[in-house]
Amino acid sequence: MTQKNHAAQKPREKWGTRIGLVLAVAGNAIGLGNFLRFPVQCANNGGGAFMIPYIVAFVLLGIPLMWIEWGIGRFGGKYGHGTTPGMFHYLWKHPLAKYLGAIGIAIPFGLVVYYTYIESWTLAYSVFSFTGKYFGIQNHQGMVDFLSAYQGKTVNGYFNGIGTAYLFFLITLGLNVWILARGISKGIETLCNIALPMIFVFGVILLVRVFTLGAPDPAFPERNVWNGLGFIWNPDFKALANAKVWLAATGQIFFTLSVGFGAIQTYASYLSKKDDVVLSGLAASSANEFAEVILGGSIAIPVTVAFFGLIQTQQIAAGGSFDLGFFAMPIIFQKLPWGQFFGTIWFFLLFLAGITSSVAMAQPLMAFLQEEFKIERKRAALIIGAVTFFCMQPVIFFLKFGFLDEMDFWIGTFGLVVFAIIEVIIFIWLFGSKNAWKEITLGADIPLPKIFYPIMKYILPAYLAILLGCWLYQDGIKVLTMQGVPPENYPYIWFARFMLTGLLGTTIILVRIAWQKPHLIQRRIPS
């Protein structure tokens, strides 16, 4: 039997256990954003009052969209399709459907291209914490220079080129490829069964350490952990009148649950047709919220307030997630007893959160190559590794010209919402709301409250359309017209756009090629 025929006749992979699936979906959702982006967003947008729009968005947008994606995924899986081109093909019998589904492969793969690089920084910083490489740098500017030299933007006494960053990038990419090559159960499920408990244990250790700090400097008693928690939780209800706060909270729900990525559908496609999706989706979401609100909200910002005070923490939070994670935290670890240990587990926690997300984002392309092109699993993983390596070069070498930021806006902000709107329209409106409801509730272990029917049909698409409109108005025009971008960066920004267009175009062409082999697409009849 040839390798090709062997691959064609192999049954689809399955999850080993249900808890393994829930941990894998939770691992997909729990990423760097839970520990760095959430506390910064919370602190910058009204503290405790931020949680009101956050909860509203969780109930009206996050959870319904998550159930929709689980439903679409399990539906596609029974036709032998683990990616959205095949899923949309059966949901909406229109020639355009499969091409719209191509976005659900291009988006997660585009994210892999730059996310894996950021993920490699966390691994590097974990090693640097263990060896104490940055110990001795006691101020913010020193840490900025340290990261800048690590990224190859400048040269200093710590790094004389991009070699170290490149080495960690290769290790991270190699680990991702190795896990993907091992498959769904032996690779991704095993990783998440180990990584998720470790994330929670490390998170709780760090939380206990932070909560027992009190006021570390007796000269500044107001710099304490409780004031740090207050910075996040004290409600400023005036902030609720600000549309930006609602937009930020909704965006955070999108990122944190990893909806609109195309990855949940692929994971859910490995379910059996009567496996529950309602309870599993709820369990994965609640695990994500635990990691984000309880762990993520209690570590970085409170400890920063305890060491730097409220005013400086406000400046750090205004600088964004990287300022908090890569500049402030390393300085804090130097002031803590056992700082090397806490620094090591903090950055390793971030790395684990990152890798469980990056393998999930690469899996749609894996499934596409395996199922639609009959490429054997290990070969598909190597192809993905090679393409990621190739596409990541400009991200690494043009970082200082805004290449990564440009990709992040079009994929990580704009693309997610556009794809979410497309999938909601196809599943709820074109496949039919009653069919969609039946599909989601099939085999459910808990009853799905009927209130979610009108939410999915009317409120969710309206919510998404408003979100997209607001983002386009607030940031889209600015990014599109390159406002505030130095003219010397223009060629790199255009190159990023060209690469993104090429990525989407190539995926569409691959879908077209796959669909020119109708015997491969139409052969699967659901039982």
Is 294 a binding residue for another protein by CB under 8 A? The answer is yes
- 3 state DSSP class of 361: helix
Query: Quick check: 19 and 26 in contact, CB under 8 A?
Result: no
| Residue 66 C-beta: closest distance to another protein, Å | 13
Q: Largest alpha-carbon pair distance within the chain?
A: 76
Is residue 315 close enough to count as binding another protein by CB under 8 A? Answer: no
Binding mask 371-390 toward another protein (x if CB under 8 A, else -) reads: --------------------
Q: What does the alpha-carbon distance between residue 225 and residue 222 come to, in Å, rounded to a whole number?
A: 9
Among 3, 138, 286, 474, binds another protein (CB under 8 A): 286
Distance CA 384, CA 319 (A): 34
112/353 with CB nearer another protein: 353
Nearer to another protein, 122 or 227 (CB): 227
Residue 53 contacts residue 241 (beta carbons within 8 Å) = no
Burial of residue 513, with CB atoms counted within 10 A of its CB: 0-12 exposed, 13-18 middle, 19 or more buried:
exposed
Stretch that binds another protein, among 132-140, 215-223, 229-237, 462-470 (CB under 8 A): 229-237
Least distance from C-beta 179 to another protein, angstroms? Answer: 24
Is residue 440 part of the contact set for another protein (CB under 8 A)? no
Residues 395-434 as x/- pattern, contact with another protein by CB under 8 A: ----------------------------------------
Residue 48 is a binding residue for another protein (CB under 8 A): yes
Q: Smaller CB distance to another protein: residue 52 or 455?
A: 52
Region of residue 82 (left: phi > 0; alpha: psi -120 to 50; beta: else): alpha
Region of 46-54, 134-142, 374-382, 407-415 interacting with another protein (CB under 8 A): 46-54
Q: Which is nearer to another protein, 220 or 226 (CB)?
A: 226
Number of residues that make up the chain: 527
Question: What's the closest the beta carbon of residue 438 comes to another protein, in angstroms?
Answer: 22
Interior angle at CA 379, CA 22 and CA 29, nearest 5: 25
List 16, 230, 309, 476, residue binding another protein (CB under 8 A): 230
Token pair listed for 194: 């180990």
CB 104 within 8 A of CB 469: no
Nearer to another protein, 42 or 352 (CB): 42
Which of 156, 445, 473, 490 forms a contact with another protein (CB under 8 A)? Answer: 445
The tokens for 111 are: 């994210």
Rank residues 283 and 352 by Cβ distance to another protein and give the closer one.
283
Alpha-helical runs (H) found in 212-323: 225-233, 243-257, 263-268, 278-289, 300-308, 310-319, 321-322
The one-letter code for the residue type at 254 is F
Nearest to 316 by CA among 327, 302, 330: 327
**Residues making contact with another protein (CB under 8 A):** 18-19, 22, 47-48, 51, 55, 226-227, 229-230, 232-235, 279-280, 282-283, 286-287, 289-290, 293-294, 445-446
